[in-house]
């Protein structure tokens, strides 16, 4: 894969990439329909990707329901569908490149150990520990305190560990290259603008988890590159993650898509719809006698 300059023109390719960890709701329907609408407007291709790297939450029945719900909604996609769980070798290859650059290190700390270290710092300093854009505490760097021989011993013993990106090292490498870390944000009704990415605010993000040899950040960047995705259209809740994705693209010399982060569909209380909060599923609305045309009309689309 070759690096493409920001804003380079090529055949438009869009994708809708749900995770089969629950049933789709109106928020997913909006994102799917917006991708379909923009693909038609741009004269491009439309892909469906199943992001199923989480073995504890992703289930076959949810994946089957995704196909059923999208077909009912009128969302037509190209075959074959890429399932992330079938492509761990691709993510491993990308991770290997980053390791060869010296930008990846093992972290053996448990969530409880991280929470304890942060709590101790907050008690000593009398102020809150910094958080990432999602509101989660930044990693406190416990692995950086380990001696080289201890790391080697624990790895040799097969101790479970995550792999984290050395953010400072990655940004230093980028600075040496003299490249700007920017991407094009596009608005379907209001043109484009160049945005500067700020991945430092995420700290040393996880690139491979203890139980899964990849992560959302790594997988989505690799998938978009391998599938030739040129326009990423997803919810505003993922806007800040683009900072990390843009950094990984630069390090791995991957093409840079344009990005549009749309508003989220909210419930009557003004909260975004979410599987974890039990938001009404599309299949429940269908069972209640609501048709696909009515769903599309509610969301502002016509197919």
Model confidence pLDDT, tens digit, residues 268-289? 767 777 766 668 899 999 999 9
The per-residue pLDDT for 302 is: 73
Residues 118-132 have pLDDT tens digits of 999 999 999 999 999
User: pLDDT-based confidence at 6, cuts 50/70/90?
Assistant: very low
Structural tokens at position 51? 């992001």
- Cα 168 from chain centroid (whole Å): 21
Residue-averaged pLDDT of the chain: 94
Provide the b/e sequence for 225-261 (b: ≥16 CB within 10 Å). Answer: bebbbbbbbbbeeebbbbbbbbbbbbbbebbbbbbbb
**Any idea what the Cα angle at residue 208 is, between residues 204 and 210, rounded to 5°?**
110
pTM here is 0.93
Residues 123-158 have pLDDT tens digits of 999 999 999 999 999 999 999 889 999 999 999 999
Residues 174-213 have pLDDT tens digits of 999 888 999 999 999 889 999 999 999 999 999 999 999 9
Contact between residue 221 and residue 245 where contact means Cβ atoms under 8 Å apart: yes
Contact between residue 27 and residue 264 where contact means Cβ atoms under 8 Å apart: yes
Task: Say if residue 7's pLDDT is above 80.
Answer: no
């Amino acid at each position: 894969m070759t690096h493409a300059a920001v804003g380079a023109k090529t055949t438009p390719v869009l994708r809708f990439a749900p995770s089969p960890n629950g049933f789709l709701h109106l928020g997913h329907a909006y994102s799917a329909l917006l991708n379909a609408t923009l693909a038609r407007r741009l004269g491009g291709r439309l892909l469906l990707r199943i992001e199923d790297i989480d073995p504890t939450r992703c289930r076959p029945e949810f994946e089957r329901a995704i196909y059923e719900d999208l077909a009912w909604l009128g969302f037509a996609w190209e075959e074959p569908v890429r399932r992330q769980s079938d492509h761990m070798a691709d993510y491993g290859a990308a991770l290997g490149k980053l390791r060869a650059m010296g930008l990846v290190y093992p972290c053996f700390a448990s969530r409880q150990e991280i929470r304890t270290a942060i709590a101790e710092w907050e008690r000593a300093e009398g102020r809150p520990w910094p958080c990432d854009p999602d509101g989660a505490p930044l990693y406190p760097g416990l692995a950086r305190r380990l001696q080289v021989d201890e790391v080697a011993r624990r790895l040799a013993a097969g101790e479970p560990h995550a792999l984290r990106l050395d953010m400072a090292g990655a940004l230093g490498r980028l600075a040496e290259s003299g490249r700007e870390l920017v991407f094009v944000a596009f608005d379907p009704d209001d043109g484009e603008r160049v945005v500067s990415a700020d991945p430092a605010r995420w700290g040393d993000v996880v690139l491979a988890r203890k139980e899964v040899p990849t992560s959302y950040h790594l997988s989505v960047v690799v998938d978009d590159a391998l599938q030739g995705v040129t326009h990423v259209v997803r919810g505003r809740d993922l806007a800040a993650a683009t900072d990390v994705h843009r950094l990984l693209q630069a390090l791995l010399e991957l093409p840079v898509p344009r990005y549009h982060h749309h508003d989220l569909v909210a419930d009557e209380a003004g909260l975004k719809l979410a599987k974890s909060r039990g938001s009404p599923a599309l299949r429940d609305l269908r069972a209640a006698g609501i048709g696909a045309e009515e769903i599309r009309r509610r969301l502002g689309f016509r197919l």
